[in-house]
Amino acid sequence: MLYFEDFPIGERRKFGTRSVTEDEIMGFARDFDPQPFHTDRAAAEASIYGGIIASGWHTCSIAMRLICDGFLLDSASLGSPGVDEVRWKKPVRPGDALTLFGTTTIAKASTSKPDRGVLTNLMELVNQNGEVVMTMHAMTMIGRRPA
Amino acid sequence: MLYFEDFPIGERRKFGTRSVTEDEIMGFARDFDPQPFHTDRAAAEASIYGGIIASGWHTCSIAMRLICDGFLLDSASLGSPGVDEVRWKKPVRPGDALTLFGTTTIAKASTSKPDRGVLTNLMELVNQNGEVVMTMHAMTMIGRRPA
């Protein structure tokens, strides 16, 4: 079990990889973000993107799954108050394989609740060509290691 | 069709409402955020949340659907470079009905590409009890009205 104390500041760690299919991209977008460049192949080809791209929220959700499988499910996570500076830097396209890198940038122990603290992790999602497709600064409320 | 020029600064507009079921919360979480307080009723009841709550990314995705249906699909949207200060302020629980409010806070015309600009909208998601459950500052790249 990983606690607040187990995330050294400044160490960039590599987590898992997940690929995304056109069906998944279109399915997510039909539910949550039905803009034509996510759901309609012809419209996407005529758009500034030149083809189907994933909803940014789908990309965030894929990153979240890699965060869960990478460390969060084995941690004393208590949820998150929020995320700063989500940046969709490059399109995510069908067939892309996305790898998560995480760097803890801030570790702030709670003063009011001594059993927990908040970590800020810079999360970077990188595609199979080494391009950073998304970055975000994600906060995680997490338990402190019991004495 | 709504263009860059059609979003007056500072006017808070009410958009649609969407309810969320326990099945939807658990289904989204099984795919993307399988933390026990999203997927396991007994574990959720024993957690600090006292019951199943939605993944924050599910809440963002619901907000995105309300953004699409509220105005984005009728606009010259060109996608988004990112979002700032996502804040999950209150848990979203099964049965909650979430209403979107949007306020344009920044409208920045592109200097390099005169056919477009970037809007920043403060998005607020409010539940059936009037509680703000999420806020975010979402950027939208959007076409300018043709001359």
pLDDT at B55: 98
Q: Is B31 near chain A, with CB under 8 Å?
A: yes
Dist CA B54 CA A66 (whole Å)? 18
Other C-beta atoms lying within 10 Å of the C-beta of residue A20: 20
Contacts of A61 in chain B (CB under 8 A): 28, 31-33, 57, 61
Residue type, B87: R
- Contact present, B15 and B70 (Cβ < 8 Å): yes
- How do residues A54-108 score in pLDDT, each as one tens digit? 999 999 999 999 999 999 999 999 999 999 999 999 999 999 999 999 999 999 9
| Domain CATH code at residue B91 | 3.10.129.10
| CB-based contact B80 A88, cutoff 8 Å | yes
Domain containing B69 equals 4-143
| CB-based contact B79 A48, cutoff 8 Å | yes
DSSP secondary structure of B110-142: -SS-TTEEEEEEEEEEE-TTS-EEEEEEEEEEE
- How do residues A108-123 score in pLDDT, each as one tens digit? 999 999 999 999 999 9
Instruction: Please count the structural domains in chain B.
Output: 1
